Amino acid sequence: MRSASTVPGSAPRAVFAQLADGRPLTVADLTAHTGLPRSTVVDALRRLADAGQVEQRGPGRQGRGRPSHSWSIAAPPGPVAVVVAAAHGTVVGVVTTKGEVLSAREAEPLEATVEGRRAGRALTELDLALADASVQASELSMAVVGLPGPSGFTRQSGTEADQPASGHLRRFRTWDGGSPTELLADRLGCPVHSENDANLAALGEAVLGAGAGLDTVLHVSLAHGTGAGLVIDGRLHRGRSGLAGEIGHLHADDDGRLCHCGARGCFWHSRSIPALLAALAEAHGRPFTLADVARAADEDDHDVVRALLGFGYALGRRLADAVVYIDPDAIVIEGSLSGASGVIADGVRDAIRRYAPPTMARGTQVLVGTLGEMAPLVGAVALGRSEGLFAHVADLRPSSGSSQLAETR
């Protein structure tokens, strides 16, 4: 008999995702956390137990009443390898399914060619990151590649997202003439998934960072461009084309520069950290780097702090509109800019107080990310949980009913 779930395998995935961090949970817990009917949860557990992926513990006593059995994963899934290949650089790491970063490496952007990117640098860094973490490729449960452009989870995953219409994005998503996910899957011998790089950072901060425990979190990426990711109940809202939250491409100037997205006068041309660095360099007659701005904020350099507050206020003016549309619990400002992130958050908070309706402005916390540059690496684990990627659902047969399920409640 088919379970109550309409998509085969989706209930076991959902149940397994709740157990993926190793905490034992009862059927009642799992029913509450997944929102699935109890009978569906019990069926999913039976199928996962048949496949050797979960095991029953207990009975333990919780408060009054009958003892209750709990369930846990039979063996924790292996760590996750993450490669984030963005325009500004490459970040590679290995993370446990609890979100602990075992190793992390930063490198230059992948070498660009007319057709796409050369994968060599990513593969070398990946080998080094695995060695740093003392993890063999065969131990990995999966790998995640973070790329500019639409998520790999858009609707029918794979087709549209792997071949974006924009030539600019296609060149980012072609490695050695082929697909980054296929190349890494061949190399590592484990499932490989792709997600937008800013979405990974958003998931990391929303689920396992500053926004942990909150329902609706809008994360704003700033260091290398201006983007946002919306996470609702631990899951990304990606939108129809997988590009929801690209706030850098809000229209700001009718006569502005042509943008790589195909539009003109996009917000990020005038309001982004790279634009701010260029303006500071022009005003002060010397180059400004991200590290310079972070240091200046830490040292309370008034000129730079003023510029950062103004930047935060301009950003917050646009985010105040997002507060009305979304009514989030929190806006999390990327935390990798050291003290500068806090100053920008102050500007954002002022603008939201000024422009959003008072009740909504009061209810929206403006927080600074706590994971810094590790956010996209940790986000890969959050992605695995939210999309149920840690359960090997292909291995699951329909329930045989053969396993011994103790009475559960």
Contact flag: residue 104 with Zn ion (CB under 5 A): no
Q: What are the distances in angstroms from CA 232 to CA 211, 220, 303, 317, 368?
A: 11, 15, 37, 22, 18
What minimum distance in Å lies between the beta carbon of 368 and Zn ion? 26
Give the footprint of Zn ion on residues 266-295 (CB under 5 A).
266
What minimum distance in Å lies between the beta carbon of 225 and Zn ion? 10
C-beta separation of 317 from 355 below 8 A? yes
Give the footprint of Zn ion on residues 211-270 (CB under 5 A).
249, 259, 261, 263, 266
- What is the crossing angle of helices 273-284 and 302-326, to 10°? 160
- Whichever of 260 and 284 has its CB closer to Zn ion, that residue is 260
DSSP state of 395: G
- Whichever of 190 and 259 has its CB closer to Zn ion, that residue is 259
Give the footprint of Zn ion on residues 26-45 (CB under 5 A).
none
Residue reference for tokens 């999913």? 44
What minimum distance in Å lies between the beta carbon of 243 and Zn ion? 11
- Whichever of 57 and 251 has its CB closer to Zn ion, that residue is 251
- Whichever of 75 and 263 has its CB closer to Zn ion, that residue is 263
- Whichever of 176 and 321 has its CB closer to Zn ion, that residue is 321
Chain CA centroid to CA 50, Å: 32
Total of chain residues touching Zn ion, rule CB under 5 A: 5
Q: What gap in Å lies between CA 27 and CA 260, rounded to an integer?
A: 50
Q: What gap in Å lies between CA 151 and CA 245, rounded to an integer?
A: 12
Contacts of 213 (CB under 8 A, 6+ apart): none
- Whichever of 265 and 372 has its CB closer to Zn ion, that residue is 265
What minimum distance in Å lies between the beta carbon of 116 and Zn ion? 21
Closest by CA to 123, choosing from 114, 136, 110, 112, is: 110
Q: What gap in Å lies between CA 144 and CA 115, rounded to an integer?
A: 23
What minimum distance in Å lies between the beta carbon of 262 and Zn ion? 7
What minimum distance in Å lies between the beta carbon of 266 and Zn ion? 3
**What percent of the residues of the chain are helix, what percent strand, and what percent coil, each to the nearest 5?**
40, 20, 40
- Whichever of 224 and 349 has its CB closer to Zn ion, that residue is 224
Give the footprint of Zn ion on residues 124-163 (CB under 5 A).
none
Q: What gap in Å lies between CA 392 and CA 384, rounded to an integer?
A: 12
Give bridge partners of residue 55 from the DSSP assignment: 72
- Whichever of 128 and 250 has its CB closer to Zn ion, that residue is 250
Which ranges of 68-144 would DSSP assign to H, the alpha helix? Answer: 120-132
Q: What gap in Å lies between CA 392 and CA 381, rounded to an integer?
A: 15
- Whichever of 263 and 406 has its CB closer to Zn ion, that residue is 263
Q: What gap in Å lies between CA 228 and CA 215, rounded to an integer?
A: 16
What minimum distance in Å lies between the beta carbon of 251 and Zn ion? 9
Closest by CA to 290, choosing from 337, 258, 328, is: 337
Query: Amino acid identity of 93?
Result: G
Q: Output the six-digit token pair for 286.
A: 């010397």
What minimum distance in Å lies between the beta carbon of 149 and Zn ion? 13
What minimum distance in Å lies between the beta carbon of 217 and Zn ion? 24
**Residue ranges that bind Zn ion, judged by CB under 5 A:** 249, 259, 261, 263, 266
